Structure 1
Amino acid sequence: MAAPSPLERLLVPAALPPPGSPERWPWLQRLRRQDNPDCGVWIEALERGQLEPAVDLLAVLAGRLDGAGSDRLLAWWLATVGDPDLLPLIGRVRTPRSAALLRQAVNERTAPEQRLPLLPLLGHQRDPIDYPLLARLSLEAGPLPLRRAALEGLALGLSAWPLAALRRQLLRLAGDLQPQLASQAVDLLARLPRGRWALFPLTRRPLDPLVGQRLRRRWAALPPSPLLLIVHGRAGGVIPGELQNLASELERLRGRPVRIQALTAQAPPSPASFGTPAGSADLQPWLTLVPLFLLPGSHVRIDVPAIATAWRAHGPVRRLPFLGAWPSWQRALAAELAAMVQVQDGSADSGPGAPLLLHHPLEDGPGARYLVHLQSVTQARCLPTPYTAADLQEIKLAIHPGALPLALAANRLTESLPEQLGMPLVERPRFRQLLVRELEALP
């Protein structure tokens, strides 16, 4: 191995030119390019006070440190309560030790001015355990700089935090009396997965004028894709009027085409009817498929995937879960049944007197497991009901406690028993409002 050159031997702390020297910058560049520098001697010199912790030196060292070296440098800074401007250079590397050091320092230092430089770096470490602290400091009353520092920490670690809790916190913060915080909360909501959906609740709230402007800009930058609603349809491909009305309202609200494809139709809608050339780069995905089926039968398991495959020949496609799998839909079913029981002055239970969910018969397997889950969520009894039953007297007797048909739009069952079953689900305010709200907010 070749002996070190005289120049390399001089790349030691004692040989560093002082600040202001014209030789300092070229010297530091040589240090930056040096192969496998011994960063430990530089950290030791800082720890002993033999070197001035200047920004230019730390910028070079920070780029060469491994995790252990970064931890050591951070521990030195925290022990000396160094210059806050140096901290972003020192804490670049994410390690469990650095996260623990920062967490301990934040908890021990209660003065806002001492916490300010630590909070963004704590968020940069992206340890989910730190989310509650950063969220609390951003929300609770306190000095504005401290709250902004906590929110910056959340922004730096955005992908690491629990999504549902983060979304709730940012929605709350978007209504804050401090427009700077509220505007940044809007920006962060737009960066979340399904950003348009995350922002949607704010479109229904009164906001500070400046925050409202920010919301409109972010909303406009997240244009929704066209929707394709997949339904069963009636004989000959007829689409019930209530579903056509739903599609028209969604198209008006979203400002993008909304079409319906019925399984009973001879042909699907034309790709040209969506108004976006196939493969266009301005919308990703090009199309969102929404299967409006309430049960995981063969249509969901076989027909819908085949339809999605066919549409992918025209561009990127996002396929949503079938409607009956949405937790919000299941909660709406439970609420509707509970309201029915209350009107009848009864109490919900899972016994013989429980309200009924009338459904098309399903095969064993996924369908049977789904019905068990649905009964647990709704506290109702699921009753298979062939829609082609010739004698409806038995069904009339069975639904004496009250029943809800698992029929989104009118079908032979709802038309045969209008007095006992009432309106199909899409015509009931609770379910229509849910569909409009959820589908309007889709990306």
Structure 2
Amino acid sequence: MLVVVHGHSGGVVPAVLEQALGALAEQRPAPVWVQPLTADPVALPPGERLLVVPLLLTPGSHARFDLPALRARLRTAGHEVVLLPFLGAWPAWLEHLHHLVATAGSGSVLHHPLRPGVADRYLSALSQRVERPLISEWTVDGAGGGPFPLALAPNRITAQLEDAGFEAPALLERPATRDLVFTLLRNLP
């Protein structure tokens, strides 16, 4: 299994992801490799059968362009590749996210800015699914409560909310979400 994550500058994998994927590797009988999109390609043994699992929440540029390029590169290198849809499209994930947003009581969901097009259609559908508006910009306005951060691991969105005094854990910092993602990945072939 090749798990694709966004990563931080220089290919750094956030600690919460590293811990979750390390636990996954201990539970799966087959190897688990991690490919941050911000890093050079991970070294793989030749001729692997790879299930590529993108832990991406939206169909941004990484999902639409980087993943097909990664699949092509892996196939050219002699690997057999099955590319799964990005995590944000999985029905179990969408149901879980709806529950999280509803119980958080936030008036909106804050996401990373995306280019127009496919992402707009996805965000519109996601907004209907979670029954909240999705926003890509937010400023502290003194109103009570901040938006719900759509961030798998700590990033600028969660930092901005925490700097403004709001509790804004990344999704994988929430035990129920971490357990769900772990179970979904562990149960893949």
TM-score (structure 1 length as normaliser): 0.40
Is residue 232–residue 264 contact of structure 1 (8 Å, CA) maintained in 2? yes
Is it true that 1:320 corresponds to 2:84 in the alignment? yes
Cα deviations by residue, 1:96-155 (Å, 9 ceiling, x for unpaired)? xxxxxxxxxxxxxxxxxxxxxxxxxxxxxxxxxxxxxxxxxxxxxxxxxxxxxxxxxxxx
Superposed, 1:430-441 pairs within 5 Å as: 430-441=176-187
From 138, 141, 162, the equivalent of 1:397 is 141
* 2:119 counterpart residue number: 367
* 2:102 counterpart residue number: 338
Provide the rounded CA distance (Å) in 2 between the counterparts of 1:288 and 1:421. 35
Cα offset, 1:364, TM superposition? 2.2
Provide the rounded CA distance (Å) in 2 between the counterparts of 1:372 and 1:398. 27
From 53, 73, 97, the equivalent of 1:310 is 73
Structure number with the higher strand fraction is 2
Cα deviations by residue, 1:333-363 (Å, 9 ceiling, x for unpaired)? 110111112xxxxxxxxxxxx6211011222
Provide the rounded CA distance (Å) in 2 between the counterparts of 1:404 and 1:365. 23
Amino acid at match of 1:288: L
Is residue 110–residue 148 contact of structure 2 (8 Å, CA) maintained in 1? yes
* 1:408 counterpart residue number: 152
Is residue 330–residue 377 contact of structure 1 (8 Å, CA) maintained in 2? yes
Is residue 24–residue 182 contact of structure 2 (8 Å, CA) maintained in 1? yes
Cα offset, 1:412, TM superposition? 1.9
Provide the rounded CA distance (Å) in 1 between the counterparts of 2:143 and 2:36. 30
Gaps of 5+ in 2: none
Aligned pair in 2 of structure 1 residues 249, 303: CA closer, same or farther (>3 Å)? same
Is it true that 1:268 corresponds to 2:32 in the alignment? no
Cα deviations by residue, 1:170-195 (Å, 9 ceiling, x for unpaired)? xxxxxxxxxxxxxxxxxxxxxxxxxx
Aligned pair in 2 of structure 1 residues 380, 248: CA closer, same or farther (>3 Å)? same
Cα deviations by residue, 1:385-437 (Å, 9 ceiling, x for unpaired)? 3xxxxxxxx62238744421111111122123224242101111121111111
Aligned pair in 2 of structure 1 residues 264, 314: CA closer, same or farther (>3 Å)? same
Provide the rounded CA distance (Å) in 2 between the counterparts of 1:398 and 1:361. 23
TM-score (structure 2 length as normaliser): 0.91
Is residue 229–residue 291 contact of structure 1 (8 Å, CA) maintained in 2? yes
Superposed, 1:238-277 pairs within 5 Å as: 238-265=12-39, 267-272=40-45, 277=46
* 2:47 counterpart residue number: 278
Cα offset, 1:296, TM superposition? 0.7
Provide the rounded CA distance (Å) in 1 between the counterparts of 2:63 and 2:178. 21
Superposition RMSD in Å:
1.8
Provide the rounded CA distance (Å) in 1 between the counterparts of 2:143 and 2:73. 41
Cα offset, 1:278, TM superposition? 1.4
Cα deviations by residue, 1:281-308 (Å, 9 ceiling, x for unpaired)? xxxxx11111111111111100011011
Aligned pair in 2 of structure 1 residues 374, 437: CA closer, same or farther (>3 Å)? same
Is residue 410–residue 424 contact of structure 1 (8 Å, CA) maintained in 2? yes
Is it true that 1:357 corresponds to 2:109 in the alignment? yes
Secondary structure of the 1:269 match is: coil
Secondary structure of the 2:134 match is: strand
Q: After the TM superposition, list the runs of 4 or more consecutive aligned residues in structure 1 that deviate by more than 6 angstroms.
A: none
Amino acid at match of 1:368: D
Amino acid at match of 1:294: L
Is residue 246–residue 436 contact of structure 1 (8 Å, CA) maintained in 2? yes
Is it true that 1:296 corresponds to 2:69 in the alignment? no
Cα offset, 1:371, TM superposition? 0.9
Q: Which has the higher contact order (CA 8 A, sep 6+)?
A: 2
Is residue 231–residue 261 contact of structure 1 (8 Å, CA) maintained in 2? yes
Secondary structure of the 1:271 match is: coil
Say which is worse superposed, 314-323 or 410-419, in terms of deviation: 410-419
